[in-house]
Amino acid sequence: MKQLIILVCLCFSGALFAQDIMSLYQLRREAETNYPNLAKSDLLTPEYENKIRNLNAGYLPGIELGGRASWQSDVTTIAFEQASDDVPFNIEDIVTIPEMRKDNYRITLDISQVIWDGGMIKHAREVEKAALEVSMKQYEVDIYSVGKAVNDLFFALLMLKEKEKVLSLTLDELKSQSEAMKSAINNGVLASWNADVLSAEILQIEQQTEANTAQIYGVIDAINILTGKQYSFDSEPTIPEVDISIDVESISRPELQVFDAGINRLKASENLIYRQRLPVVAGFGQAGYGLPGLNMFSNEFQPWAMAGITFKWKLWDWKQNRRQRLNLQVNQAIMTLEKETARQKFLQAAALKNAQISQYEKMLLKDNEIIAMREKVKQAAARQLEEGTITSTSYITEMNREKQAVLDRQIHRILLIQSKVEYLQTTGAINESLQN
């Protein structure tokens, strides 16, 4: 029997130690891993590689098979002068020129090979690479927003858990005081209605506890959806250790990196458009079979072949190319201004968070003194209640003030950590500064 009791105790203690511990760092990593758009980054790279392969195919020979059948209303003819004093005979009697047919048939195999394209393919690859960078940076922005959602839920849960502890302590204290009051009522020191006041207060605390519990379940459900895990009501969030170095001028948000990547893409596009004005040299070859062949005066099907080099250079486009590049330069300037506007907003938000950090640090310095004073007042009120010199209403008032002071200290502590985390989130340094 003794061994069975020990075994049960060990199992119970093991269950306690197996309680889930939530850390902010852990939840952020789990939420990022569970984010549906996580697979997006894996899809962007193959898409980019396929585009590059298509562009590189421009360096390979192009092969086309073509055919044509046609009829025309007239053909080339050669007319000779008739015999005269200068020409005593008819040339037609000596030279016979067959009449060309008006129907034509041909099938051809054409081969082309780029020799020099002015760097078009090379710079098109750079545009695609810059576009991939923009997409990847935008993906990082999405992931970063998931971290913000985790922060909000985590600190909401911390607040609710601290409130749960204070409500539990308050309820225990009220029940204890209610038991102590019974003797005072039985001895006629206190009126019986004082017990009813305490009982009503106990019911209100139980009601607040139930509402707080429902909120805890709601937040945990939201965390489970975000992380893909199965945390329970007993899972305990731990207040993170946050090491920050206040520097409101340092902003490294992924949104700013999106602007940088966008500017690089515009620059790459500008270079590509400039290349459109450069000459293009290509080699070609053609093999064919048809009627007529290369000899237009032959009315028989014949094979033929030819090869050579082509050269194209658009010398004048009415400044269309130049205006396109100017528009891209304007877009770069606009995007630079938008980046600075966004950076200014982040700086303003960081300055506000810095002020909040200072505010809560100062409030915490006063909290311990306030709690000590409220504790003394509550203890004095408890003695007076037992002696019958004050009512239970007065005691409850002082007890609530003391418990509120305790709760305020915990809330201020959590708000201080939350402000530090939000400061790091605002400046973009949270992943480097948040400790596991």
Contact 114, 59 (CB under 8 A): yes
Other beta carbons within 10 Å of 253? 20
* 3-class state of residue 102 by DSSP: coil
60 CB contacts (<8 Å, ≥6 apart)?
none
pLDDT at 86: 62
Please tell me the distance from the alpha carbon of residue 134 to that of residue 48, in angstroms, as a whole number.
Answer: 12
293 CB contacts (<8 Å, ≥6 apart)?
301, 302, 303, 304
Contact 403, 166 (CB under 8 A): yes
Contact 178, 219 (CB under 8 A): no
Please tell me the distance from the alpha carbon of residue 46 to that of residue 128, in angstroms, as a whole number.
Answer: 12
Among residues 95, 101, 65, which one has the least CA distance to residue 293?
Answer: 101
Among residues 13, 18, 10, 14, which one has the least CA distance to residue 2?
Answer: 10
118-140 in b/e burial notation, b at 16+ Cβ within 10 A?
A: bebbebbbbbbebbbbbbbbbbe
Cis peptide bond prior to 292, omega within 30° of 0: yes
Helix (H) / strand (E) element for 237: namely strand 236-237
Q: For the CA atoms of 67, 72, 78, 79, what is the dihedral angle to 10 degrees?
A: 170
124 CB contacts (<8 Å, ≥6 apart)?
55, 272
**Can you give the pTM of this predicted structure?**
0.81
Among residues 231, 174, 217, which one has the least CA distance to residue 197?
Answer: 174
Contact 259, 338 (CB under 8 A): yes
Please tell me the distance from the alpha carbon of residue 97 to that of residue 79, in angstroms, as a whole number.
Answer: 10
Please tell me the distance from the alpha carbon of residue 111 to that of residue 134, in angstroms, as a whole number.
Answer: 37
Kindly state the DSSP code that residue 391 receives in the 8-state scheme.
-
Among residues 263, 307, 31, which one has the least CA distance to residue 144?
Answer: 31
pLDDT at 12: 41
Class of domain 21-60+118-162+181-193+216-278+318-433: mainly alpha
Our CA angle for 127, 130, 136, nearest 5°, is: 145
Q: Which residue has the tokens 């009126």?
A: 191
Please tell me the distance from the alpha carbon of residue 335 to that of residue 348, in angstroms, as a whole number.
Answer: 20
Give the number of C-alpha atoms closer than 13 A to the C-alpha of residue 388, restricted to the C-beta side.
Answer: 12
Please tell me the distance from the alpha carbon of residue 146 to that of residue 152, in angstroms, as a whole number.
Answer: 10
Among residues 384, 417, 418, which one has the least CA distance to residue 399?
Answer: 384
Domain 62-116+279-312 has CATH 1.10.8: no
DSSP secondary structure string for all residues of 261-320: HHHHHHHHHHHHHHHTTS-EEEEEEEEEEEES-S-TT--S-EEEEEEEEEEE-----TTH
Q: Judging by DSSP bridges, how do beta strands 236-237 and 21-22 pair with one another? A: parallel
Structure tokens at 7: 């075994």
The pLDDT tens digits along the chain (436 residues) read 444 444 444 444 444 444 578 899 999 999 999 998 888 888 999 999 999 999 999 999 999 999 999 999 888 777 666 655 565 556 666 666 777 888 999 999 999 999 999 999 999 999 999 999 999 999 999 999 999 999 999 999 999 999 999 999 989 988 888 887 777 777 777 778 888 888 898 999 999 999 999 999 999 999 999 999 999 999 999 988 887 775 656 788 999 999 999 999 999 999 999 999 999 999 999 999 999 888 888 888 999 999 999 999 999 999 999 999 999 999 999 999 999 999 999 999 999 999 999 999 999 999 999 999 999 999 999 888 878 888 888 888 998 999 899 999 999 999 999 999 999 999 998 887 775 5
Please tell me the distance from the alpha carbon of residue 382 to that of residue 399, in angstroms, as a whole number.
Answer: 9
Domain coordinates in residue numbering, the chain = 21-60+118-162+181-193+216-278+318-433, 62-116+279-312
Contact 150, 434 (CB under 8 A): no
Contact 20, 155 (CB under 8 A): no
Among residues 147, 131, 125, which one has the least CA distance to residue 34?
Answer: 147
Q: Which residue has the tokens 């530090």?
A: 420
